[in-house]
Amino acid sequence: YSLKSIFFGGGTPSLMDPTIVKKIINDCKDLFNQNTDKSIEITLEANPGSIFKDKLKNFFDSGINRISIGIQSFDKESLKFLGRDHSVYDAKKALELSRNIFNNLSFDLIYALPKQSIKSWEFSLNEAFQFEPDHLSLYQLTIENGTAFHRLYRSGELFPIKDELASDMYSVTDRLTKDNHMPAYEISNHSKIYKNCDHNLAYWRGDDWIGIGPGAVSRFSHDNKRLQVDIRKDPMGWISDVKNNKNGVKRVFSETKNDYLIEKVIMGLRLVDGINFNEISSVLDMDAVSKLIDNKYISCDKNVLSATFDGRLRLNSVVAEIIK
């Protein structure tokens, strides 16, 4: 194995002391015999409220070369609705500070919020472009079981916007990001040329990765098997296991080849570039594939299966239909 990327994510890793980050990076490079002259993508996720100039500079000096900030919105009421503890001022200040230190800046925004209009989403996007991001993750609000949003929805206190309006917002997103030279390379991710997130591409392409820390998951090939390693979620229990057993592994199991190929279809069709058709054809319903090609929801050109723009609008349905 060779080391291609490191991603400090989940929770608020920007609360860590930069000296700890530097030790982890150096240990990773030592373990993989990484040539220190070779630059790899090393990302740190950060919340706006935990970003300060001196600390950012220390993170940069420790080896972080890409920062991803959870901005979520430039609207005060939207931040309140999303339960964020930072202000619009905090968000903008964090972006200004980060832009002056890092050559690779990414941040997240969420749209299709209740009561949000297309005009307000266009305003937020144009506000985002003012900070000259290299990468944007633009997610539609989803209401999932077990979340506070779902409880509000069930009680009648939250009214999601209509699907048609959400689709129109997705179209606006596609147009404005292209106009600003940040086209989509994945269903919710946009970047300047050569600024795609290498680390996340590994997930979408079904490559190998190692997850470290409470609740982390690893997936990699070993002895002609695709293994999944789950780490226990409880932080204190994890610490105890690491001290006593040298690891916090909860379980290890292997995927079947079929499971792996289905995973590749589900994740690979999220990518604008699509997926090699020959690799995954054995798990596809060819009649459904033909029908969806005729309806222009997917295409298959030069042995590459990909979702069209209309297909990406309803990707879950497309995937469910084409898998045997």
Reported as a single tens digit per residue, the pLDDT across 89-121 is: 999 999 999 999 999 999 999 999 988 999 999
- Nearest alpha carbon to residue 302 among 323, 267, 283, 276: 276
Residue 202 CA to residue 8 CA, distance in Å, equals 15
The pairs formed by 220-227 with CB atoms below 8 angstroms and a separation of 24 or more are 220/1, 225/254, 225/255, 226/254, 226/255, 226/257, 226/259, 226/260, 227/252, 227/253, 227/254, 227/255
What is the pLDDT averaged over residues 6-27?
A: 93
pLDDT band at 281 (very low <50, low <70, confident <90, very high): very high
- The amino acid that residue 226 corresponds to is R
pLDDT value of residue 81: 83
Q: Are 163 and 141 in contact (CB under 8 A)?
A: no
Residue 240 pLDDT > 80? yes
Non-local (6+) Cβ contacts of 230 within 8 A are 217, 249, 250, 251, 252
Residue 184 pLDDT > 70? yes
Residue 261 pLDDT > 70? yes
Q: How many CB atoms lie within 10 A of CB 185?
A: 20
pLDDT value of residue 248: 93
Q: Are 12 and 44 in contact (CB under 8 A)?
A: no
What is the pLDDT averaged over residues 65-88?
A: 92
- For the chain, what is the mean pLDDT? 92
pLDDT band at 39 (very low <50, low <70, confident <90, very high): confident
pLDDT value of residue 146: 63
pLDDT band at 136 (very low <50, low <70, confident <90, very high): very high
- Residue 229 corresponds to which tokens in the numbers above? 């390693």
Q: How many CB atoms lie within 10 A of CB 318?
A: 22
Residue 138 pLDDT > 80? yes
pLDDT value of residue 145: 67
Residue 182 pLDDT > 70? yes
Residue 153 pLDDT > 60? no
Residue 189 CA to residue 270 CA, distance in Å, equals 10
pLDDT-wise least confident of 57-61, 68-72, 114-118, 308-312? 114-118
> What residues are paired with 137 via a beta bridge?
108, 189
pLDDT value of residue 147: 64
Overall residue count recorded for the chain in this entry: 324
pLDDT value of residue 156: 63
Residue 65 pLDDT > 60? yes
pLDDT band at 142 (very low <50, low <70, confident <90, very high): confident
pLDDT band at 224 (very low <50, low <70, confident <90, very high): confident
